[in-house]
Amino acid sequence: MAEGSSTPLFTVGQETAAFLASCEILSKAWEESHLASNSESFSLKEHEGVVYVAFPSFHRIESFIVKVSKYGEGNIQTNNRVFSDCLKGNDDKPALVHQGALKLFLHIMEKTGFQAKIYTDSRQRKLKPIIFVGHSLGGAVATLATLWVLEKRVRQSSPFCITFGCPLVGDERLVEAVGRENWGGNFFHVISQHDIVPRMLLAPIESIAEPLTAILPYWHDKVADSSIQDACRTLLENVLQYTYTVAYYGVDSRGSDGVIKRSPYKPLGTYMFCSSHGAACIDNSETILKLLHFTMQSHEKLSDNIVQDWFSEHIGYGAVLKHVIENSISGKRFANPDSKSSYEMGISLQLEAIGVGAQNDHAQFALRRAGETEDNYNTNVDKLAIELSLKQSSMAELEWYKERCEKEDGITYYDSFKKQNNRKDFRANVDRKKLCQFWDEIIEKWEGHELPSDFESQNKWINAGNTYRRLVEPLDIASYYRTNGNGNYLSDGRPNRHKILQRWMEAKEKTRSSRGQRPRTKRASLTADSCFWAHVEEAWKDLENLKQGQHQSLQKLEKFEEDVTNMENALTISPDVFLEGSSFIMWWEEWKEYKKNQSPEWSSPLYKIMEKLQVI
């Protein structure tokens, strides 16, 4: 960010926190959370046109201490399929969440009429905003409830989630899934400087189980007993040991062998850090993790007052919000006198507001790194956008190549490219390689976390990638079978870029289909299944094997015929597939002849379709 910028980058988070704290919504969210804290079920109330759904705090040891794994994490997918497979990471594996919170949410889903209540409310008040709120572990349940409503899309208005003193809920895969769906802005977490609960799951379950078991019965009382004081110190020391590791040595939770080495949990959404000096909002996951340590470690020694602060701040977010509001009204601000620019001034103000102090070099670096990361994201996207526009000439050349093959030679561009008989095939190969290199670069940056978390959900890149895949992958298939006739493109030769681009598109189509899509009325200009010609090539092999007595190939051929029938009924096959002499038409004639020889009366849905079609 330029030093002469009129708005310091990090003062925005401070101003956002002050604005939100002064709004009635945060205070009302805490009020509803507090009222529900000791109940056994959720509550649903409307206040001034906003629906609040509040969950209990669940201060029960068995809910926190879940010994199913080292950190209490487990698969978000359950046997009853409450969550669909869209909640998975970029590696296509399901997200992990705290199993205690998941168990509580599933209990509410199955035993309290929660689903029916939400669906009924959605029909009756479908345009009114709904906010899921919760304190402590109830905040984790509110997070899962919000994810469920977002995923099922049961409301026209997007739900919002506000939590207070909430422990971390899910892993990096959940963060990736939320980023992919553009849901990050739906989650807002308020945490106080000395509240240990939001930091607790960064430590292994075994290191917090014993002291937490001793502490929980006294959670709402003044801590006077010396044994409880000792348990509090032990809990804090154990938690700080692991937050220190995250703050100073990185946040990678898995080793090269895939085994979890550190806590898998990652912050999700926006965090409002509160202190006696004010508050600030931060939405960078890695920076939030580091600040969870720095804000907690702002005191040099573990005094009895600090121990008491855990309790008073964890159960007293009403007082925390009141203090933030008072600071915002008074305009109280601090700054590092050594700040040389508005950028550094912004960082100093942010650190002072959250109680870390502007002199903390590590915290300074964490915030500066977050700003640089955001700048790098934007720079990378801007460069790729420019390159994408330049690559449109190669896409246009390949579209023209496709048209020339069909109109001048009466052959599909797939079959022409596979033969490589003339100069236009060679030139098409040059354009193909240029585009392959460009999309490989995009996938490499995406896998290397060099692009924004919602990059793969942005329509611009999904649509561009989908058009590229449907136009160019047939040429990749032709190139593969030209040199690997006995190979299988689908299992052995398909490039990673096509797999990932297809996954992006399928994720977006799930979103679109949930909102309702009209069936296609016009035939596709490019076959929707970009692997269609690979299926044709494999069908040729299966047919030859069948003729040689390998009857296990019959089932695969009938399945291919059924798939083609469904594609044609959906108008997702492009017209060039039916050109006379195309690889598909030649296969169809061979297949039809084989079936007629087996049974002269043979017919099928595809047979009837092909008889009606006029071969071009």
Query: What is the spatial distance between Cα 227 and Cα 239, in angstroms, rounded to a whole number?
Result: 18
Percent of the chain with pLDDT over 90: 45
Note the pLDDT tens digit of each residue in 137-154: 999 999 999 999 988 876
Q: What is the pLDDT of residues 70-100, one digit of tens each?
A: 999 999 987 767 888 788 887 888 999 999 9
* Predicted pLDDT of residue 584: 96
Average pLDDT score, the chain: 82
Query: Side chain identity at 398, as an amino acid letter?
Result: L
* Cα pseudo-dihedral 29, 35, 41, 42, rounded to 10: -20
- Domains in the chain, ordered, with CATH? 37-330 (3.40.50), 378-612 (no CATH)
- 231 contacts: CB under 8 Å, gap ≥ 6: 210, 211, 212, 214, 215
Tokens of 536: 């044709």
Would you state the pLDDT for residue 217?
A: 75
Torsion sign (Cα): 209, 214, 215, 216? positive
pLDDT band at 342 (very low <50, low <70, confident <90, very high): very low
pLDDT band at 351 (very low <50, low <70, confident <90, very high): low
pLDDT in tens, 232-279: 888 888 888 888 887 777 655 555 555 556 889 999 998 988 887 778
| Other residues' Cβ atoms within 10 Å of the Cβ of residue 428 | 25
Helices 24-36 and 317-330 pack at an angle, to 10 degrees, of 170
Position 22 pLDDT exceeds 80? no
> What is the model's pLDDT at position 7?
37
Per-residue pLDDT tens over the stretch 512-567: 554 455 677 889 999 999 999 999 999 999 999 999 988 889 999 999 999 999 99
In whole angstroms, what is the distance from residue 426 CA to residue 378 CA?
36
pLDDT-derived band at 9 (thresholds 50, 70, 90) equals: very low
Residue 2: pLDDT over 50: no
| 272, 17 Cβ separation under 8 angstroms | yes
**Is the distance from CB of 461 to CB of 455 less than 8 angstroms?**
yes
The pLDDT assigned to 380 comes to 93
Structure tokens at 291: 């600040």
Q: Which residue has the higher pLDDT, 40 or 400?
A: 400
Among 109-118, 478-487, 601-610, name the one with the lowest average pLDDT: 109-118
